[in-house]
Structure 1
Amino acid sequence: MSGKLLLNFSGPADVFMNADKALQAAGCSEGYSVLAVSATADKKIGTLSRMEIHCDSSAMEIKLPIDTLIIAGNDSVDVDNEAYEPFYQWLSTVNEHNTRRICSVCGGAFVLAKAGLLNGRKATTHWELSEKLKKNYPLIHVDTNAFFTNDGPIYTSGGVSSGIDLALGLVEEDHGKDIAITVARKLVFYLSRPGFQSQFGNLLPVYESSNIAEKLHTWFNEHLHEPMDVVRIAGHMNMSTRNFTRVFHKQTGVSPAKFIEKLRIETARKYLEDTDTPLERIAEQCGLGNLISMRRTFLRHLMTTPSDYRRAFRTSLKHAGIQDLIRSN
């Protein structure tokens, strides 16, 4: 498909080419032969960086069987483009009997989904596209957080650099951890990213202005450091507890308690990214109790600790607006 982000395409390719070199250096006769092909007859792949990839072949020229097929991402918008019809006809002949592994990077999951290869299986994609994948293909068990996952011979990965994670995982599966570590070091990349083993999409979606969660947005933020049970929130909305709980769950898909917990984490993430506020203070400001409680909550939702998250995503403190506001309180 159209590559869109070059790294979706080049990341896995570089992993396998470096793995081949590492295997040769180790005296192994079995390695990788990487063939980049297009999904259209013109043998071209466009990217957002305005660099066009010219392939030697199109997918339709490739004869089965194939060892590992990787669909290297698209933005899911052009999945139904008529220009790809010959490609889908070819893809319909691909199955676990003639292809050992069938994989996708980022929005490439939509290609596998359209071909029916993900029906009844666990899969992931970029976190921004996960809700669309769930909605468009309800037979797929979508894992929003995983960098990559596999279900039988089908492997799917999240966005951009997750394709590198997937490729390293495939190399380790084929040739062991030592070769995979050699490649990871060569690329200055983690073989297994420590402390943050999930995609970091927003825990809460963007709601329309008419949604009850959006109507409560300002009030929630003003009182996030205080106890907020359903009785108090329902009273603020002049609704009975039962009716409020029913309406809230219907419009958001989660209970008020679960929503508040996710909102506390989202707010804490911003403090961790944008300020040097002590962790204990962040836990207090966000209503997450003490540091131990906040750590447990982060591990449950993000599979990382607050300190590891800060190290991974902290920004430079060019603007101290949030920090100054906290210190003034």
Structure 2
Amino acid sequence: MHRIGYLLSEGFQVMAIATQSVFECANVVAGSSFYEIENYSVQGGEVRSSLAMGVGTLPAPTPARSRIDTWMVAGVLDPLSVSTPAAVVAFLRRASGRARRVAGICTGGFVLAEAGLLDGRRATTHWFYARELQQRFPDVRVEDDRIYIVDGPIWTSAGMTAGLDLALAMVERDLGAEAARSVAHKLVMHQRRSGGQSQHSEMLALAPKSDRIQNALDYARRNLNQALTVEQLAEAVHLSPRQFSRVFTAETGQSPARAVEGLRIEAARLMIEQSTHPLDVIARETGFRDRRHMREAFMRGFGVPPQAVRREARAA
């Protein structure tokens, strides 16, 4: 049995405890109670969330009596407006050495940093607060464009739903890739995001208003290795090329060609970071004419060439 303790403080961000569903489904997939989950606070008793919903908690155990394997530390909606209670910081410093791993969910990274658990380590948090985390704690190597980061026994996640990806990665570490895939399927997660994936999504940034344009983007993402002309995209959603271009630009603020390039470089970047495929192969798989064409697109989109992205990923 693997015991997971959620450390909650007053005003904790309610999305943090949504990650418990991942471990709940993992027990179903495993066919046994592999994970045992409890909510804790320093004092015990009812703790109110960011929605003012009360959650009952057990008092945090003394280090000598702690049997927790994984501590999941919840953050708050705005870490700049509140201070981490000294008792929470003191508890984490004592408890971290007896646990297999400690995770900061979303702005929970600030709590881990206060406790000194991130000193000299790579970490991430919600993109909106990443710069502040770096400024407050210069000994932390903050990477503001990651879904989650694992540095030894310390895990940190980006904001909100990224905590689900972190929890799913824990399931994969504990029970294997097939179990993690089954859990993701039960949770109706559209895709399992790896830690190296960017917090920022090109699909989300485009934010089309109609289902037709959304369907065109979905079609494009599924067929990036093709040419994807305006005519082809228009035909996929049963519009004339002229009408499609007009509606697409009105809804997304971009031309179809520019949007498709954004999807290509997003997919190529993910392949570069997570695979060992040669750049020529990645360029071909994501629809670029050749490696040079992909490099030009990367310089426009990211300001760095693909080789720099790969070097950074390997160094990390």
TM-score w.r.t. structure 2 length?
0.60
Change (3 A) 1:54 1:273: same
- 1:41-80 correspondence to structure 2 within 5 Å: 41-47=44-50, 50-60=51-61, 63-74=65-76, 75-77=78-80, 80=83
CA distance in 1, matches of 2:118, 2:105: 14
Write the deviation string for residues 159-189 of structure 1: whole angstroms up to 9, x where unpaired.
Answer: 0000000000000000001111111011111
Residue in 2 aligned with 1:174? 174
Q: How much has 1:85 moved relative to structure 2?
A: 2.6
Change (3 A) 1:54 1:88: same
CA distance in 2, matches of 1:272, 1:21: 46
Identity %: 30
Number of residue pairs matched by the alignment: 220
Residue in 1 aligned with 2:91? 90
Residue in 1 aligned with 2:132? 132
CA distance in 2, matches of 1:116, 1:64: 20
Q: How much has 1:274 moved relative to structure 2?
A: 2.2
Residue in 2 aligned with 1:277? 255
Change (3 A) 1:281 1:66: closer
Over the aligned positions, Cα root-mean-square deviation in angstroms equals: 3.5
CA distance in 2, matches of 1:13, 1:149: 19
CA distance in 2, matches of 1:51, 1:35: 20
CA distance in 2, matches of 1:298, 1:273: 22
Residue in 1 aligned with 2:213? none
CA distance in 1, matches of 2:200, 2:143: 13
Change (3 A) 1:130 1:57: same
Change (3 A) 1:112 1:172: same
- 1:163-312 correspondence to structure 2 within 5 Å: 163-193=163-193, 197-200=197-200, 274-275=252-253, 277-280=255-258, 292=293, 295-297=297-299, 300=302
1:5 aligned to 2:8? Answer: no
- Asked if the contact 2:148/2:165 (under 8 Å) is kept, the reply is yes
Q: How much has 1:18 moved relative to structure 2?
A: 0.9
1:117 aligned to 2:117? Answer: yes
Matched AA of 2:22:
V
1:36 aligned to 2:43? Answer: no
CA distance in 2, matches of 1:274, 1:95: 46
Higher deviation after alignment, 113-122 or 86-95: 86-95
Change (3 A) 1:280 1:110: closer
Residue in 1 aligned with 2:210? none
- 1:307-326 correspondence to structure 2 within 5 Å: none
Matched AA of 1:92:
R
Question: 1:37 aligns to what SS in structure 2?
Answer: strand
Unaligned 5+ runs, structure 1? 202-270, 284-289, 305-329
